[in-house]
Amino acid sequence: MQEVTGLFDPMALGIVLMGTILATYAREGGQDVAAAIASAFKLGRKGFDAGATRSALARTVGEIKRLGHLGAHPIDPPDNATTKLLNAYIRSGSIEAMLKLAQLQRMKRDIQSVAATRVYETAGELAPVFGLVGTLIAITQLMPDMESSAADIVMASVASAVLSSLYGVLSANLLFFPLARAIERRGDQEEAERNLILEWFENELIDGRQSPAPRPANLKNMRGAA
């Protein structure tokens, strides 16, 4: 237990973390840092539900094929972005308009993902730097005072210097860089699932347009009577 507690230095940890956070904020800006924090919290929640989204779209496709896009009663998917795409098609009946909106949504998501990834990559680069800063601060404490022996001060300063460098390396490689890669992987996986569903939905709508419209019942009866 003493070995574990000996690896904890609040001052050194504070220098590394607070310095890294402030420097990252100064370099990347508040908007990107806020987006990065939001993206990190999203990692702990369920992401895009492809199954539920496709199920809702499948039922809506049936409505569109029976009643047309104006007469259909859409079933909103659980994903807000997909709901907007569906509503765009219902209002306009244009697949092209829906695909254009999908492209804009993809661009916004890509921008947010790149910004969040860049923030954590920047933090990962700065963390070892502030580990070195903590080391230098600890070295400045080597001047002995009247109340403590020189040996005690030297040992405490050396320990703090080593731990500062350790905290910088560990926070970069076990926290900031892994967060960057996790956000990137989540974004790539989500976009792949969205593309598959959008392609399926587009094909279903095209097939529905190409299917022959049902003959009116009165016209069929008139031909039979003739």
For the segment 118-170, what is each residue's pLDDT rounded down to a tens digit? 999 999 999 999 998 888 887 776 655 545 555 555 556 677 778 888 999 99
- The pLDDT of residue 222 is above 50: no
- Does 57 reside within a domain? yes
- The pLDDT of residue 46 is above 50: yes
In this structure, of 64-68, 128-132, 205-209, the range with the lowest mean pLDDT score is 205-209
- Does 204 reside within a domain? yes
Number of domains in the chain: 1
Give pLDDT tens digits for 90-127: 888 899 999 999 999 999 999 999 999 999 999 999 99
Residue-range definition of the domain harbouring residue 87: 9-34+47-209
CA geometry: angle at 201 spanning 197 and 202, to 5°? Answer: 120
Confidence band of 212 (pLDDT split at 50, 70, 90): very low
Check: pTM over 0.85? Answer yes or no: no
Handedness of CA 55, 57, 60, 62 (dihedral sign): negative
- Does 90 reside within a domain? yes
- Does 178 reside within a domain? yes
pLDDT for position 220? 44
Tell me how far apart the alpha carbons of residues 61 and 59 are, in angstroms, rounded to a whole number.
5
- Does 226 reside within a domain? no
- Does 217 reside within a domain? no
CA separation (Å) from 21 to 10, 27, 133, 144? 16, 10, 14, 32
Contacts of 70 by beta carbon, 8 Å cutoff, 6+ apart: 90, 93
Nearest to 113 by CA among 194, 202, 200, 182: 182
- Does 220 reside within a domain? no
DSSP structure string for 89-110 = HHHH--HHHHHHHHHHHHHHHH
pLDDT for position 5? 54
- Does 216 reside within a domain? no
